[in-house]
Amino acid sequence: MENFFNFSGIAIFILMLPILYRVVTGPTAIDRIVAVNVIGTKTTVLLILIGSIFGRVEMFVDFALTYALLNFLGSLAAARYFDRVNPAKQLFNLHSKK
């Protein structure tokens, strides 16, 4: 059973690597925010798998829930910030007022 958890953890980590490409290249800030959120979700799953490997799932569940909540709140804050400073949105509002 431990080999299954080890293999699953390695597979999830490898699946995170292509997402890093989207974080770096974009093309928009929203794409980057979503990619970071996906990495955070996979990290939460990895924390649970690490807890299963070490036999301390109850401790790692607390860490995973806390990390997932911070990941969610960080994504919301970043999305709200980029929604407010979006130059395309401001340009659209200028044209619609005329």
Q: pLDDT per residue over 42-89, tens digit each?
A: 999 999 999 999 999 999 999 999 999 999 999 999 988 887 877 666
Round to whole Å and give the CA distance between 21 and 62. Answer: 30
**63 Cα distance to chain centroid:** 15
pTM of the model: 0.78
Give the C-alpha distances (Å, rounded to integers) separating 98 from 84, 85, 89, 91. Answer: 21, 21, 15, 12
Residue 55's SS3 state is coil
